[in-house]
Amino acid sequence: MADQYLLSIDNGTQSVRALLFDLNGNLAAKAQVHLQAYFSDHPGWAEHDADGYWKAVGQACQQLWASTDIPRSAVKGVAVTTQRGTVVNLDRDGKVLRPAITWLDQRRVGKQKPLSFLWRTAFKLARVSGTIEYFRREAEINWIAEYQPDIWARTDKYLLLSGFLNFRLCGRHVDSIGSQVAYLPFDYKRHKWAGARDWKWEALAIRPEMLPELVAPGTVIGAITAAAAEATGIPEGTPLVAAAADKACEVIGAGALEPHIACLSYGTTATINTTTKKYVEVTPLIPPYPAAIPGAYSTEVQIFRGYWMVNWFKEQFGHFERMAGAEQGTSPEAMFDLLVNEVPPGSMGLMLQPYWSPGIKTPGPEAKGAMIGFGDVHTRAHMYRAILEGLAYALREGRERIEKRGGVPVTELRVAGGGSQSDAAMQLTADIFGLPAARAHVYETSGLGAAIAVAAGLGLHKDFDTATRAMTRPGRVFHPIEANRQIYDKLYRRVYLNMYKQLQPMYQEIADITGYPEQL
C-alpha cells in the first residue's frame, strides 16, 4: 500500500487542484492553479473558456509532478470531480463551440412553447406548473437553442464539465451518474437518462444522442490517452475512474456514509447532505441528487449564495482585517475569527436570513436576504457573526426538513468546505445545531471523495464502504456550549423560523414594484 497513490483532479469554481492521496486517505501532494471564476459579456452571464479549464488541469498536474518525489508510476488511477451545472458544447470533431456556461450564470430564456395538453393538465393538477416553467426557462439548453441556433445546430455533444474533462483525458463521451446535477433530461430516481416518454424531452431542446454514456461511480471509464499524457504528465494507460460532482464527493470525503450523519459544506454554496439508499424528496417534487456511491441519494438542502456571503462581507467591509493580516503574516481567516469572537452568541439581537439568491420552492422565487434587529450597539463584527449564524440557522432548518422527510434523526455532523477552517464558525455551528461538529481530517474533502471512488473502483479497497471507512476520519471536534445552545435555540425557534413567512409578502411586493427578482 505504501507505493500506491490515487490522483484526484478537482476543478472547482475558483481553482483546479491536482491531489495525490494514499490508501489511508492522507494527502501526499498537492498543486493548485487559480482560475478567474467567470467572465461576463452581459449582466447576469457567467461564462468560462472551456479549453481554459483543460489547460489549467494540465498545468496543475505538471506542477504536481514537479513538487513531489512520488513517482508517476505509483499512481494507480485517476478520477475527476468538478463544480456542478457547468455545461460545454462540442462539435463532431470534439472542438469547443462556445464558452462554457457556468453554474453561476443567471440568464433565462423567454416564454417557451406550451407543453402538450396532457402534460400541462398533469402539472396543473399537481400544482407544479410554475416549477416546470422555471426548469424550462433556466435550462441552458433552451437558451442556446433559441438565441444561438447556429451553435446548437453544430453541437454534437452537450456535456457537463466533468464529462468534458473525462473526454479530454480518455477520448470517450462518458460521465458519472454522480455528476448529473443540471437542467438535463435525467431521471433522478432511477439514475439514468429519462425514458422516451418523459416530459423533459419535450421541455428541453435536446436529442438523446447529444448526451454522454452514464456509468456508476467507481466504474473504469477508460485510460489516459497519449495526448492527455502529454498535456498532463499522467502516464498513458492509467485507468480513469468515474467519481461524482464536488459536493457529492465532499460528502463521502467527510465520512458521511449513513443517513444519521449530516455533512455540512461551507462553500460558495452552503449545503447540508445526508446519504441514503432510500429515495427521499426533502422538498416535495424536487428530487434528491445522486450520491458519490452507486445506487445512493444525497438528500441535499442548499443555500445558494452560502459562504459567498462571507467573501462578500470581506470584500465590502473587511479591508482592515485583510491589511492587518498581511502586515502580521496572519491569514485573513484568523483575523476574521477574532472579529467573530468580539461578539456574544446571538449577535446582540442581529438576525440574518441568508436568501441572497431566490430559490424555487423553499424559499420561493420572490425571496430576498434580510437582516433585522439593528441597534446603535452593532458594528461590522456583529454583522459578520450574524452572517455565520444565519447560514447555520438555515442549514439547521434543512436538517429538520431532512429528518422529517427521511425519518432518520441526525446525530452527527461533519463539516467541510472553506468555512470549516474557521474555529469560530465550527463552534457556533455546534452551538446552533446542539450537536458535536467534526471538521473533516483533510481540507480537500471533494478530492478525497474522488480518490475513494478510484480505490473502490480498482479494488484497492473492497468497496465504497470499506474505502470510505479506511480513508476518512473526524478531525477536531467542537462540542456545543450549553449556555450558547440555549440562546441559539430560542432565537431559532422564536425568531428565525418566523422570519420568512412574515417577510414573504413584502418580498413579493418588492418584486412586483422593482421587477427584481424577475418573476415567472
For 356-395, the pLDDT digits (tens) are 776 666 777 788 889 999 999 999 999 999 999 999 999 9
The cell numbers describing 324, all together, are 492587518
Strands 412-416 and 437-440, sheet pairing: parallel
- What confidence score (pLDDT) does residue 369 get? 87
Nearest Cα neighbor of 482 from 427, 425, 417 is 427
Confidence of residue 2 (pLDDT cuts 50, 70, 90): low
Rounded Cα distance between 208 and 200, Å, is 11
The answer to whether residue 482 scores a pLDDT higher than 70 is yes
- What confidence score (pLDDT) does residue 358 get? 66
- What confidence score (pLDDT) does residue 193 get? 98
- What confidence score (pLDDT) does residue 284 get? 78
The answer to whether residue 519 scores a pLDDT higher than 60 is no
Q: Please provide the average confidence, as pLDDT, over all residues in the chain.
A: 93
- What confidence score (pLDDT) does residue 517 get? 64
Q: What is the mean pLDDT of residues 493-516?
A: 89
- What confidence score (pLDDT) does residue 280 get? 93
The answer to whether residue 323 scores a pLDDT higher than 90 is no
Q: What is the mean pLDDT of residues 484-511?
A: 93
Q: Which has the minimum average pLDDT: 50-59, 298-307, 463-472?
A: 298-307
Three-state SS at 460: coil
Q: What is the mean pLDDT of residues 490-509?
A: 93
- What confidence score (pLDDT) does residue 320 get? 83
Q: What is the mean pLDDT of residues 35-55?
A: 94
Q: What is the mean pLDDT of residues 296-324?
A: 87
Q: Which has the minimum average pLDDT: 57-66, 172-181, 250-259, 502-511?
A: 502-511
* Structure-derived torsion over alpha carbons of residues 163, 166, 168, 173, reported in degrees to the nearest 10: -60
The pLDDT tens digits of the residues spanning 432-467 come to: 999 999 999 999 999 999 999 999 999 999 999 999
The cell numbers describing 247, all together, are 459536493
- What confidence score (pLDDT) does residue 468 get? 97
Confidence of residue 1 (pLDDT cuts 50, 70, 90): low
Q: What is the mean pLDDT of residues 381-410?
A: 95
The pLDDT tens digits of the residues spanning 358-369 come to: 666 677 778 888
Q: What is the DSSP string of 303-353?
A: ETTTTHHHHHHHHHH-HHHHHHHHHHT--HHHHHHHHHHTS-TTGGG-EEE
- What confidence score (pLDDT) does residue 361 get? 64
- What confidence score (pLDDT) does residue 113 get? 87
Helix count (H) and strand count (E) of the chain? 18, 25
Q: For residue 312, how many other CB atoms are within 10 A of its CB? A: 14
Could you give the domains of the chain? 5-243 (3.30.420.40), 256-519 (3.30.420.40)
Confidence of residue 185 (pLDDT cuts 50, 70, 90): very high
Confidence of residue 520 (pLDDT cuts 50, 70, 90): very low
Q: Which residue matches cell numbers 412574515? A: 502
Q: What is the DSSP string of 215-255?
A: E-TT-EEEE--HHHHHHH-PPTT-EEE----HHHHHHHHTT
Rounded Cα distance between 71 and 57, Å, is 19
The answer to whether residue 474 scores a pLDDT higher than 70 is yes
